[in-house]
Amino acid sequence: MARVWAEHDLKPWRTETFKFSTDPQLEAKIRDVVGLYLHPPERAIVVWVDEKRQIQALARTAPNLPLRPGSPERRTHDDVRHGTTTLFAALEVATGKVTDQCFPRHRHAEFLAFLKLVAKAYPRRQLHVVLDNYGTHTHPKVKAWLAKHPRVQLHFTPTSASWMNLVEVFFAIITRQAIRRGNFASVPDLIAAIGRFVNGWNQRCQPFVWVKDADDIMVKATRKRTSGTEH
């Protein structure tokens, strides 16, 4: 059986998930967002924005045992929880630079405060912000502020298309390199570790290059679900 699987490049032990977007504005949103990535307006700034919610400050009940020849790093299975924080991040498409801020919650008030911080980081420039369809992003107070600051424009990815926002890649990196392996006695300790990581990131950052055009994405996003199984 194993030989048959190998001959046909079959790996039945592996599974992947998928989800088709049902957004009625699917194509318009894809073309809008991808257009910003591939052909940004001259002298404008394009940033990916999102929140990494409910990051836990976890302290191990015993110190980690370090990596040794022939033995991996070992950690206790149990831990003590000291609270949570939410990381807001804006990743600049052209440079990879990250603007960040942590808040205890992720309501519209926190999102608006972060949006103002990002706008302040890029003064007197057209600012295009790519983000998802989370309800706080379209709160009436957010819309009112945007109406008074027309240089800041929001662009929404389609529903079920978080992969189009590459700040998610940054979240995966910071989780793997700074959060998951950390040992935090308090939320301030966690926030400080996040800040150190972002500072180091910005000293060596590089742009995230988008390569897929809108036509390629539309082919995959609208393909019909089919089954080759016969009964």
Please give the full DSSP string across 169-224, using - where no structure is assigned. HHHHHHIIIIITT---SSHHHHHHHHHHHHHHHHHH--PPPP---HHHHHHHHTPP
- What's the pLDDT score for residue 223? 63
pLDDT for 133 equals 85
Q: What is the pLDDT of residue 230?
A: 41
Alpha helices by DSSP H, 69-107: none
Token duo for residue 191: 């926030």
| Alpha-carbon gap, residue 82 to 61, rounded angstroms | 12
Q: Are 35 and 208 in contact (CB under 8 A)?
A: no
Q: Taking Cα atoms as reference points, which of 162, 167, 109, 104 lies closest to residue 132?
A: 162
Q: Please tell us whether the domain made up of 22-62+73-221 is placed in CATH 3.30.420.10.
A: yes
pLDDT tens string for the chain (231 positions)?
A: 888 888 888 888 887 655 556 777 777 888 888 888 888 888 899 999 999 998 998 887 666 767 778 777 776 666 778 889 999 999 999 899 999 999 998 899 999 999 999 999 999 899 999 999 888 899 999 999 999 999 999 999 888 777 878 889 999 999 999 988 888 889 999 999 999 999 999 999 888 888 777 777 787 666 654 444 443
Q: Cβ–Cβ contacts within 10 Å for residue 119, how many?
A: 18
Pairing relation of β-strands 152-156 and 127-131? parallel
pLDDT recorded at residue 150: 93
pTM assigned to the model? 0.81
Q: Which of 187, 160, 208, 229 shows the shortest CA–CA distance to 86? A: 187
